[in-house]
Chains A and B, each alone.
Chain A
């Protein structure tokens, strides 16, 4: 290996390990939030909860699919840059970014259309907190994707060097997966 290739490999190793450690920490964060909520529900017959009727689930399911599609878009974008397609990368990032913003808008709509407030018994706070912290992560992801989009325009990425794109993809897919867990926790169980 040339010295440049070695330095690149080391940089990628550093980025991957760092991101894995950060996501591990995030997993405990969201896992703790969910467990705290489920722990509170134990032995509480009068627990206020969203009743998951089909009509009630339309908006959340739509929102969820928007996020899942955005995760697909960002993954396809990363595959594109590995093949050398700058245009494919830019399209994937831009699509995911817009869908991410649509998702956050949808979550705000979902929260306000519920007529629930953070102070409405314990569940109001749970609903607000789980959705809120997740939405903050989506917004952080939007910023990451935005930076990567600008860097794509600047020609920073190549098939061999695009670790920042890969990390952005990891984060975005991770945040999508977290939402699937939140969705099950909030609406289905």
Chain B
């Protein structure tokens, strides 16, 4: 790194902790970095809880005729596993990185609405605790994460579990909507001078699109569950066919939210990978605008494919045709991104740090998950495979191999910025390889189990169907993944106990968050920089090779 690399910030004051010290400081904070850390910490705890639930599921399914959980508890566990991982794990972890990084990446001092930001976090935490408290207050919901009505109607789910689920998801919808409005306004209004939309870091682009998707998709879920709540508590008949209601209404409302939700989970991950790969390839992101606009295209197309979750419900054949075609179409902008990442790495000077390994793992596994999705867009294939383990395998390749891998990569990449310390690379590589091998051991056999006809959501199965071996492999894989997460937690704790080195720019990176101290100042930047390209820090470190000069 050249000596004048720090020109952008001139003086680099020593890191100051933002806000009041101690517990009260954390409880009362409206600082985006602290709220980001709160999101990340809570998200990690819920993620580990969801992981324990996954282990219970895999133990129950390891052998035919297992009696560890029993059908009722099993249903509660898989419902809470899905709900937790999606709403309390991956979404808050993405929100945590977004909160911490977006103002720093944009050259802003905070988000647009800091108090609203704190409200979003506390509502999320309360909702998560509320939902999980149902385990001790009369049983958790047991109707699956998509909670199909009329199964969730009072007549068929008389306990309070569904009501806990409804209230929890309502609050999480509120939290996410407020958080998304905050991101949208921050990104559109608080960028540093000179940072046009086309000079934003790609993570800011994907968070912008993600937030817009959330703002447009979540109300559909809100309506669906409000109607369900009214049906359950006030005796309306929205989902009751006998009284003029509609049994398919829930599925339409839910999936109009539910499919865009997949992109809410994957787009931030794509943004993280788009930050990591250029830095460790020592090249600018290939086709910056194409990558940015393909996110926008995914955002739009994501709203046109919801009924591919409903191919088996007897939709008219014209609808099958349209939704199938759209589902193929959405593979195009997704594929464009994959080729952009590969082209960025092509002939780059690769540094295989743990963050980079997770990013490369993301590409490999996400492509497998994406191809599974494309195969399910073929209506007859879907008719054969819907509600089998093939589908479970597909979305875990996308959400675990995709979202979670990117988040883990992001943890290794941005941990030094947040704490002033690097995570151990030795343990990190062990973590990566255990996760990669374990993940494939769990989910690759599920493709085969699905093709062999094993339905999802059954709590046990009889011997002799050819499912035993694959299930045992998947369970072993689940414990390998659990071991890998243990390694991660050990790595986190060990790194935090080391004295900080306060490296401002450990990876020789390109974006503004690396120009300030590690951890950053309470007010982020001593001086707000003026931006002239998509790689402002690169420009500052290499004035002769600055991107904005190359364009001329």
A→B interface (CB under 8 Å): 10, 13-14, 17-18, 21-22, 24-26, 28-29, 32-33, 36, 39-40, 44, 46-48, 118-119, 121-126, 128-129, 133
Contacts and interface: CB of A to CB of B under 8 A. Distances in A.
11 contacts: A24-B216, A28-B215, A29-B219, A46-B244, A48-B244, A118-B230, A118-B236, A122-B238, A122-B240, A125-B227, A129-B236
A122 B244 contact: yes
A36 B112 contact: no
Chain B at the A interface: SS class: helix
Interface of B: 112-113, 177, 180-181, 184-185, 188-190, 215-220, 222-223, 226-227, 230-231, 234-238, 240, 243-246, 249, 252-253, 256
B318 to A, nearest CB: 15
Given A17-B189, A32-B253, A32-B256, A24 B215 contact: yes
A119 B245 CA distance: 11
A66 B240 CA distance: 36
Nearest to B113: A18
A124 B234 CA distance: 11
Most buried by A among B190, B218, B246: B246
Contact of B238 (A17, A24, A40): A40
Contacts of A118: 230, 234-236
A14 B181 contact: no
Nearest to B181: A21
B216 A122 contact: no
Contact of B244 (A13, A17, A29, A121): A121
Interface of A, helix, strand, loop or mixed by DSSP: helix
B223 A29 contact: yes
B249 A39 contact: yes
Nearest to B240: A122
Contacts of A22: 181
B184 A21 contact: yes
Candidate in B180, B215, B223 with the most chain A CB atoms within 10 angstroms: B223
B113 to A, nearest CB: 7
Contacts of B238: 36, 40, 122, 125-126
Nearest to A47: B244
The 5 closest A-B pairs by CB, nearest first: A125-B236, A122-B244, A29-B219, A119-B235, A28-B219
Contacts of A13: 189
A21 B179 CA distance: 11
Contact of B220 (A32, A47, A128): A32
Given A25-B216, A125-B230, A18 B235 contact: no
A14 B185 CA distance: 6
Nearest to A24: B215
B192 to A, nearest CB: 13
